[in-house]
Structure 1
Amino acid sequence: MVAHYPAHWEADVVLADGGTAHVRPIRPADADRMRAFYARLSDESIYFRFFGPRPELSDREVTRFTTVDYVDRVALIALIGMEMVAVIRYDRSGPGEAEVAFLVEDAHQGRGVASVLLEHLAATAREHGIQRFVADVLPANRRMTGVLRQAGYTADSRFADGVVRMTLDLTPTETSQEVTLSREHRAEARSIERLLNPGSVAVIGVSRAGGVGQTVLRNLLAADFAGPVYPVHREAKAVAAVRAYPNVSAIDGEVDLAVLAVPAAGVIDVVKECAEKGVRGLIVVSSGFGETGPEGRARQDELVRIARAYGLRVVGPNCLGIANTDPAVRLNATLAATVPGRGKVGFFSQSGALGTALLQRVAQRGMGISSFVSAGNRADVSGNDLLQYWEEDPATEVILLYLESLGNPRKFTRLARRIARKKPIVAVKSGGTTQGVPTGHAAPVLGLPDTALSSLFEQAGVIRVDDLVQLFDVAQLLAYQPLPKGPRVGLVSNSDALALLAVDACVAAGLSPLPPVNLGAGAGAAEFGTAVAEAVGRDDVDAAVVVYMPPIPGGGQEVAGEIVRVAGGCGKPVLATFEGRRGMLAELRTGMKGPDPAPGSIPSYAAPEEAVRALAYAVRHARWRDGLPDGHADREAADTRAARELVREALAEAGGVEVEIDATRLLAEYGVEVWPAVPVASADEAVAAAERLGRPVAVRAVDEEAVRRAGTVRLGLSDPAGVRQAFADLAGQLGAHTTLAVQRMAPQPAVPTVVSVVDDPGFGPVVSFGLGEVAARLLGDRAYRLAPLSPDEAASLVRSVRAAPLLFGEYGYPPVAVTALEGLLVQVGRLADDLPEVARLDLDPVLVGESGVVVLGARAVLRSPEGPRPDGGPRGLRPV
């Protein structure tokens, strides 16, 4: 019997030094690779693996090592280029146990190859019911013992007969997950650092008559890049007065970064040549890839596969390029002649065409950037990689994202939630009306509505703005002013009309404006200084907006200086509408850090409404930071083993594909009771059911479509005649094909709500909440959060729907048990997170009364998962 090759175990991985490798199961055809790999090993590595000298492997040994069954005997190898550089294997040795061993080529030891292979092998072992790895290790083999101990699993070591026997419990622990994420973070950050901090750059595809390649070359030279720049031209001896080379291999120095501006058809050959040269990163500005259709997409995927196989990360293709304003680097490897000066803003843009305009806007506002990356088709390097880098970059304090697609949305929200605690992230996400993905982007189409995306960004602390103007409006506030401690706004103005506009804008944005201080059209520096000082000095003011719009030009320099003087060091954000100008004006700067304004510089906006809008975003972000939960509640309340067995049995009965079930038993394992509903086919059955349940009862439709319609339930039926009449009315209204049920009457009054879970292909399990009223359903008034939910996140979810006031005693409704509702949402989130087989779960209706919550109906769709969830499983780059 030929073993089935498990292709889903293949993955491209980022190593500790930022390079890449390809991990896959071993095959019999790898025999020659195995021999060549073994021949490159040192005597010490061989001794540690086999406990003695072994000059070479016999043919029988090679066959045994390369022929496995992928169940009881599994081996994974790491490839760089065509060469095998490491192997790890397990052999099942007993029930739930397997012996593990690995070998890493000496030249690649210390790069984290063994650690990432162990993560992947552990995942394959768990897939086949193996709970423990056992390894016999020589005491001197500190590398292997270190890899096993530092994996974060529960480990036990015993010494006997000159050998250390180590046992690893493969059950994922909080420590093992933290170890994995920490290694992922360091590796991906390092891979971007290699791109943004090269020692040398080659531009391949330059011409003497202009064009894309020469544009990048001239921009590199104009920025005075700190290292050597190598133009590559097949025939020219020099380009732009710089010595040129016929190919990369001919360059007599090392090349860290290569910019490819050759026709798309020739890119693959150039990538291979760069790999042989030892280039560590690629920027592909060439077009003609995924944006052109299926043929271009195939070329794009091949580009990424080959680059990763040889250890290279790729920015692009079809991109603007990258820039780093660090004075020690001075890198402008872009098509944009204008790159802002040094600043504290990291900027990521997926659009190459838009990137030039965005950089110009930053420069026009007088802002600086730390670094900039345009990902183009984002075939490899993505916004997630940049988030990993900017989190640790001391030069970056604010992160700006222009997103057209999300490759791994769940990972994005995980990273953003962590990073936004200390560095604000401001994002524009295009495609909100269609949720489409631009042609050529290596990213899935999102299945959730745009309102859901906004909810999930909010949960992660991402400041999502509507357009590019708002992006820079918010950025210039966050980059130079402190976060506000509350929503109370002091207003100082020399125009009644503009002050009233500011007040209206504050109220509309949910801020609390104090009565504005109007100084009159003739106010000068002294008047503004006194008023601003009084405003920021008040205990009931959290931020100040200053409007200076003189009817006659002149005197602005003195007014600006006085505003900056009195606002400095107050610890509260101060914004201005200064003469209707926008940006970081020279008059409103506290000083200069090179070309970048110093902290405390006051941002100016064209209109007070724009200033207030930017401030409102900052207030909400500050409130998010202040309300961050400490962690999720104790998870021991749910019997996950029993729940998993229920799911397994239901799928087995359905043939293991997909099945819809009554979720009553499943929810019971999480402490959620679903009130029984007795299906009835006649009035007599309805009366009998009412007797068993105890009156009063309700008769209602249970079909999914009928439930959403008004008038499909009859409440408070306390006698047999009423039950008969209700059955007859609904049967006549809905038709004989509609299923009716009798259910015990829930306490009234109560607010009907709907709680759902959907397992989104990109985001994973997502919990949604909304009111069950017909109007709320029609208007799509729902809010969303990623599972699992902390109690604070559940509370935020409830309050995020527009109809939430109905739960809190407004508009004539009595206040209901919101705390019980939030507890239900936490439990549903736990279930969704624990059980990847739950493709959909609907609790409808959920009645929230004055004393508690009653779930009247629950259905679930179960589906056998095809692989790990998004952002789940061992480390790996997006597959191509």
Structure 2
Amino acid sequence: MSDTAAYPVAWEADVVLRDGTTTHLRPIRPDDADALQRFQVNQSERSSYFRFFAPVRRLSDRELELFTHVDHVERAALVAVRTSPADPGTEDILGVARYDVVAPGQAEVAFNVADSVQGVGLGSVLLEHLAAAARERGLRRFTADVLPQNGGMLAVFRDAGYAVRQQLDDGVVTVSVDLDPTERSRQVMADREHRAEARSMQALLTARRVLLIGPGPDDGAPGWSGHALLAQRVLDAAATDPGDTELFVLHPPGAPGPHAREVPTGADVPEIDLVLLALPAADAVTAVRQLAGRGARGVVVLSAGFAETGPDGLERQRELLRVAHGLGMRVVGPASWGVVTTVPGTRLRASLAEHAPAPGVVGIFCQSAPAAVTLAATLVRRSLGVSAIVSAGHRADVSGNDLMQYWLTDAATQVACLYLESIGNPRKFTRVARRLATEKPVVVVVAGRSGQVVPPGHAVRATHAPRALLDEMLRQSGVIRAENTHQLIDIAQVLAHQPLPRGARVGILASSAALAVLVAEAAAAHGLVVASSSDFLAPERSADDVERVVESLYAQDACDAVVVVDVPVVSERGDVVARAVAHAAARTGRTTVVSMIGLHGMADELAATAPDGTPVRVPAYSTPEDAVAALGKVVAYARWRERDHGVAVQPAGVDRRAARRVVEDALATAPVTADGIETGVQLDGAAAAELLACYGLRVWPVRRAQTADDAVAAADELGWPVALKTASRILRHRTDLGGVRLDLGDADELREAVDRMRAVARGAGLEPLLEVQSMAPTGVAVVVRSVEDPLFGPVISFGLAGDAVDLLGDVASAVAPLTDVDVRELVRRVRAAPRLFGYLGAPRADVDAVEDLVARVSVMADDLPELASLELYPVVAAERGVSVLHAAVRLRRAEERRDPLRRVLPD
């Protein structure tokens, strides 16, 4: 390691603590001396004794110099800071974590957390971030001396999920922590992240004391009238239905009215829970900074004028986040429509909504304000109740991931619906959505089919992933993908008011034979199986006829779900069918959807009561196709819920430390452009084989040859028979163009093949460099690739070699990390997969070995963000085992992934 390094800006991060508040972590700086001294003076004698093994009241000048001047390599320290309530222009240190290298790969660590924030998980967060910084510097172990009485610090080490050893010697516990991530450490981090983010959302959604800040009455700044209109809209909405909140108003655009209390100046602002900003962007930061010490847990920014306006606006947005997080607050917005909750006792009206939706069990997250307006109007029109609606605007901070974390344990929300204009952190979305979807249905609409649309103001990394990857990511997450907002609500209606179907068998009740046939066709198209169908509902139907047929359709085990279509041609629709179907659905618990003229949404005509007294409503749709499409999506989700989703793959024989050494050695000599950008490095055959061997992957040896004598000597060394290939990337896999000759059994055959192949290479204008390799067992050739995408992270793809991949795009992809079930489905999802299973009498390939290879590649790609690309092609899957015949590996220094091995808020 070098003796010093530039200030590591990448180590800075905003984080959420266990109590839902935020704080900022950053490397310590020399100018932190005064803040560090204040921190030490305010510590209790007990905390000081635990840290220094002595009751140190103040730090000496020499100690302050030592602690604040670090090189960020051999000595490093992180501080957790928050804006001082007494002086918003300064920062208070809440905690310090440091390491000092004591041996190669090993450092001694020490932690000190302020008494005022002990018990909120700051020590765990500091350990996560310090461990990540240490791994970046090549460290692999922490040691610490801890007093036995310091149970809190011992628990931080013990509960982190790393491999920990403890030894008591002379009254001091020596703790040794291996920093290599484990499956348990990842799970611990995810669990703590879930609790913290859910708690921060709970604080927002249950706020009782809300402060609205609008432009001052004498404010003549540009945009005053527009922001005054925003503030007035909030006041008007609160006047219509104030919910259970107490509204305070600073700088109202007019008289606030009896439903709100005016606050004369910023100094008069009381203790509050939530802030609504309707200010020009230039004034937002100042307004938030003045809220120090007022207790607010979040700020909803209704105003626009931030990142969508360009670099200056982006910097204003970043400054807003820095200030808000420094005060412990989450940020919703900018350009948010607001937040509405309907749970009795905590009803919150902090939005521009003219009318609040009815109470219900559907939680809705959307980004842009126009989308929120559309969804809210649709909910009212269909009489579908919600538990909450949150509009994140440009989602500079609060995102759909945060709401899913909250909904996982929110009893009031049973269905999660998200309208996403962009996905800023797909890796985190995948793991959070998957966790939620195993408990509650998650329905998602993504703007644009590819999910690669980036609206103005949204900070999203560029992606080079194929368009189909979004579908694969959502499928992998277990979410229900809706085509548009219309279908989003269609699906939510079923999930909110009907039980999940037990299977895919559907019974059809239609008012004509033609309709019954059309519904059956639609059902088949959506993966449903028609178990029974009736077209009895003629104009002369009687109540007894209806009752009899409905009872037959809802008989035990007759079907798993029912589709009812009633479109009378001559007479007007009556309520006989609706009442009979509603009561049968409530009595039997059979999933039911209907399409009836004049009924839409959650109609009263389709309401009934279950035997246990639970109210039940059958959702109604404008068209039979909409009803069947929604039911088909719900059935597919129910099947996913019932399936085994597997466990994270953990292949044996993986040496991560050796792999890290190979990567660091290779990148140490990577070429750099004139402007200092590292271009990466393509590993040669030996280095690639060494790296792959760290993950239990053996590449068959190959020898280069320029002459026939070289080729024969190579064959003698490797063993006959052999394959001869051109080293050219253009011809190396092209048997049809003479770039490959197989099963050469003696020197004469090989010499002849060398002469022909050299002629082919010269004819193509290529260097006639050849490769010799022993013949692998015959089998099915497959290709496995990994690419590190800036947005999605490691993307693993699988296909069968040849035209199926190159011309038809028959490739399956998934985002690592993968479970064993993910791997199994990835291999089987390509259309040419039957060739692996004895297609047309051919020998069956060793699919287990193929899956093991894919699993190892996925673990390797997940471990090494520097793995820019990996291609194993061809890989021959024989009846027993697989043979990796060629590997191409490219490495480059990588940015930190969007879902790193540490808890962090959006950058």
Query: Does TM-score exceed 0.5, indicating one fold?
Result: yes
Aligned residue in 1 for 2:680: 658
Q: Aligned partners of 2:817, 2:41: CA distance in 1, in Å? A: 49
Aligned residue for 1:381, secondary structure, equals: coil
Distance 1:80 1:680, change over 3 A: same
Aligned residue in 2 for 1:430: 447
Q: 533-542 or 213-222, which moves further after superposition?
A: 533-542
Q: Aligned partners of 1:216, 1:241: CA distance in 2, in Å? A: 11
Query: What pairs up with 1:112-511 in 2 under 5 angstroms?
Result: 112-159=121-168, 161-205=170-214, 211-233=229-251, 238-239=256-257, 242-251=260-269, 253-433=270-450, 435-511=452-528
Aligned residue in 2 for 1:735: 765
Q: Aligned partners of 1:814, 1:457: CA distance in 2, in Å? A: 35
Distance 1:794 1:369, change over 3 A: same
Deviations 1:327-358 (A, max 9, x none): 11221211121332111111110111221011
Does the CA contact (< 8 Å) of 2:272 and 2:296 recur in 1?
yes
Amino acid at match of 1:839: A
Aligned residue in 2 for 1:876: 904
Aligned residue for 1:336, secondary structure, equals: coil
Which of 617, 620, 634 matches 1:601?
617
Matched, 1:760 2:789: yes
Q: 737-746 or 57-66, which moves further after superposition?
A: 737-746
1:575: Cα distance to partner? 1.8
Does the CA contact (< 8 Å) of 2:213 and 2:252 recur in 1?
no
Aligned residue in 1 for 2:536: 519
1:787: Cα distance to partner? 2.3
Q: Aligned partners of 2:493, 2:624: CA distance in 1, in Å? A: 15
Aligned residue for 1:537, secondary structure, equals: coil
Aligned residue for 1:211, secondary structure, equals: helix
For these two proteins, the number of residue pairs brought into alignment is: 873
- Structure 2, unmatched stretches of 5+, are 84-90, 218-224, 672-677
Distance 1:809 1:586, change over 3 A: farther
Which of 794, 797, 800 matches 1:771?
800
Q: Aligned partners of 1:780, 1:842: CA distance in 2, in Å? A: 16
Distance 1:397 1:738, change over 3 A: farther
Distance 1:793 1:420, change over 3 A: same
Does the CA contact (< 8 Å) of 1:451 and 1:783 recur in 2?
no
Deviations 1:274-314 (A, max 9, x none): 23433221000001111122221111111111111121110
Q: 704-713 or 169-178, which moves further after superposition?
A: 704-713
Which of 11, 32, 35 matches 2:34?
32
Does the CA contact (< 8 Å) of 2:723 and 2:744 recur in 1?
no
Aligned residue in 2 for 1:65: 67
1:34: Cα distance to partner? 1.7
Aligned residue in 2 for 1:559: 577
Alpha-carbon RMSD across the aligned residues, in angstroms, is 3.2
Does the CA contact (< 8 Å) of 2:783 and 2:875 recur in 1?
yes
Aligned residue in 2 for 1:711: 736
Amino acid at match of 1:115: S
Query: What pairs up with 1:854-873 in 2 under 5 angstroms?
Result: 854-867=883-896, 869-873=897-901
Distance 1:546 1:531, change over 3 A: same
Deviations 1:89-132 (A, max 9, x none): 23344555544333333322232222211222233334445444
Matched, 1:637 2:653: yes
Q: Aligned partners of 1:744, 1:166: CA distance in 2, in Å? A: 51
Aligned residue in 1 for 2:86: none
Does the CA contact (< 8 Å) of 1:678 and 1:689 recur in 2?
yes
Matched, 1:578 2:578: no
Amino acid at match of 2:681: V
Query: What pairs up with 1:846-861 in 2 under 5 angstroms?
Result: 846-848=875-877, 853-861=882-890
Does the CA contact (< 8 Å) of 1:206 and 1:214 recur in 2?
no
Does the CA contact (< 8 Å) of 2:706 and 2:768 recur in 1?
no
Does the CA contact (< 8 Å) of 2:277 and 2:302 recur in 1?
yes
Amino acid at match of 1:543: A
Deviations 1:839-877 (A, max 9, x none): 21112233445665443322111223444x332222111
Q: Aligned partners of 1:581, 1:739: CA distance in 2, in Å? A: 74
Q: 698-707 or 643-652, which moves further after superposition?
A: 698-707
Q: Aligned partners of 2:162, 2:17: CA distance in 1, in Å? A: 20
Q: 270-279 or 163-172, which moves further after superposition?
A: 163-172
Amino acid at match of 1:872: P
Which of 23, 35, 47 matches 1:45?
47
Aligned residue in 1 for 2:692: 667
1:688: Cα distance to partner? 7.4
Does the CA contact (< 8 Å) of 2:836 and 2:845 recur in 1?
yes
Aligned residue in 2 for 1:77: 79
Does the CA contact (< 8 Å) of 2:134 and 2:140 recur in 1?
yes
1:376: Cα distance to partner? 0.6
1:134: Cα distance to partner? 4.0
Distance 1:371 1:241, change over 3 A: closer
Aligned residue in 1 for 2:858: 829
Amino acid at match of 1:373: V
Q: Aligned partners of 1:526, 1:817: CA distance in 2, in Å? A: 61
1:47: Cα distance to partner? 3.7
TM-score (norm. length: structure 2)? 0.88
Amino acid at match of 1:255: I
Q: Aligned partners of 2:879, 2:333: CA distance in 1, in Å? A: 56
Amino acid at match of 1:618: V
Amino acid at match of 1:17: D
Q: Aligned partners of 1:708, 1:374: CA distance in 2, in Å? A: 52
Does the CA contact (< 8 Å) of 1:206 and 1:231 recur in 2?
no
Does the CA contact (< 8 Å) of 2:460 and 2:791 recur in 1?
no
Aligned residue in 2 for 1:647: 663
1:618: Cα distance to partner? 1.9
Does the CA contact (< 8 Å) of 2:231 and 2:253 recur in 1?
no
Distance 1:303 1:492, change over 3 A: same
Q: 837-846 or 811-820, which moves further after superposition?
A: 811-820
1:51: Cα distance to partner? 3.8
Matched, 1:613 2:629: yes
Which of 95, 106, 130 matches 1:86?
95
Distance 1:2 1:858, change over 3 A: closer
Aligned residue in 1 for 2:874: 845
1:6: Cα distance to partner? 2.2
Q: Aligned partners of 2:154, 2:195: CA distance in 1, in Å? A: 22
Which of 3, 8, 15 matches 2:10?
8
TM-score (norm. length: structure 1)? 0.91
Q: Aligned partners of 2:766, 2:652: CA distance in 1, in Å? A: 45
Identity of aligned residues (%): 45
Does the CA contact (< 8 Å) of 2:849 and 2:882 recur in 1?
yes
Aligned residue for 2:861, secondary structure, equals: helix
Distance 1:466 1:754, change over 3 A: farther
Q: 204-213 or 253-262, which moves further after superposition?
A: 204-213
Aligned residue for 1:74, secondary structure, equals: strand
Does the CA contact (< 8 Å) of 1:436 and 1:446 recur in 2?
no
Q: 186-195 or 618-627, which moves further after superposition?
A: 618-627
Does the CA contact (< 8 Å) of 2:106 and 2:142 recur in 1?
yes
Aligned residue for 1:568, secondary structure, equals: helix
Q: 857-866 or 812-821, which moves further after superposition?
A: 812-821
Deviations 1:628-652 (A, max 9, x none): 3341344323344444444344334
Does the CA contact (< 8 Å) of 2:758 and 2:768 recur in 1?
no
Query: What pairs up with 1:673-712 in 2 under 5 angstroms?
Result: 673-676=698-701, 679=704, 681=706, 700=725, 703-706=728-731, 711-712=736-737
